[in-house]
Amino acid sequence: HDGYILTNNHVVDGPDNMTIEVTLSDGRSFPAKIVGKDPSYDLAVIKIEAASLPVAKFASSSKTRVGEFAIAIGAPFSLEYSVTFGHVSAKGRSNIIPASFSSTMQDQDFIQTDANINPGNSGGPLVNIDGEIIGINTLIRGLRTGIGFAIPSDLAREVSDALITSGKFTRAWLGVGIRGVRESTELQEQFPGIEDGVLVTAIVRDGPSAKSDLRVGDVITKVDGKRVATVQELRNQVRGKKIGKPVALEVVRKEKTLRVS
């Protein structure tokens, strides 16, 4: 409502002082200023000076359910304001972009949809049946496959709010190497009493956890009382924590449940 526009980072890829022209659906054009960009999540915020703008409403992606309707809006092949229709195919998709392909976008948590997404849809919204934003269209796996991915609205809003406030998004981290127990048959056999959790495989020297009581071999099951079942869930819980403040981890160590700060 203040003229802020959320889009993908690569849509405005270039110097921060570059001139961008934005044309609205009512035909009005405005010069735009880059407020902030975050390459790791492929998100950017730009700003135009305009009044009486319509406001796109956000839904919480945490409440989005697999199977519900999804509508993708964008400009595929430069055909502006195109709309395609489908469903939410899955949530919490990670490891979509191989590390060898991208060294930046490694914290991946995507909504998968079969709504037809093509080149040019990136930066457009994925909305629910009520027209509320549930994601930002980001990438596809092959043309005409029905496999597209969107950044969840909760994450997009968290990042964009920070970009608007400070021009950057700062991530908290634990400074540990991790593996999901459920992601490995070997780990499931090694920890037979633990169905979900994240194994600590290494602790970064001089990192945030280096002087804590956390140990290699601990399985983290909760962060500040909230259950974490996978590597991505742990990242999601830690990412937005206030820098320099302690977090309470619940860990399993040799079949005992402990709390570690």
d(Cα 229, Cα 195) in Å, to the nearest integer? Answer: 8
- Which of 261, 255, 250 lies closest to 198 in space, CA to CA? 250
Model-level pTM? 0.80
Q: Give the tokens for residue 209.
A: 């956890």
Q: Reply yes or no on whether 87 is catalytic.
A: no
The one catalytic residue in 61, 89, 114, 122 is 122
Q: Which residues pair with 137 in a beta bridge?
A: 150
Q: Reply yes or no on whether 10 is catalytic.
A: yes
The one catalytic residue in 10, 94, 107, 196 is 10
**Residues sharing a CB contact under 8 Å with residue 206, sequence separation 6 or more, in sequence order:** none
Q: Reply yes or no on whether 122 is catalytic.
A: yes
Q: Is 207 helix (H, G, I), strand (E, B) or coil?
A: coil
The one catalytic residue in 38, 42, 109, 218 is 42
Per-residue pLDDT tens, the chain, 261 aa: give them. Answer: 689 999 888 777 777 777 789 888 888 999 999 999 998 888 999 999 988 888 899 999 999 999 999 999 988 888 888 899 999 999 988 767 655 444 454 567 899 999 988 888 888 999 999 999 999 998 887 666 778 999 999 999 999 999 999 999 888 999 999 988 887 777 777 777 787 899 999 999 999 999 999 999 999 999 999 999 988 889 889 988 988 899 999 999 988 999 999
Residue 205 CA, distance from chain mean position: 27
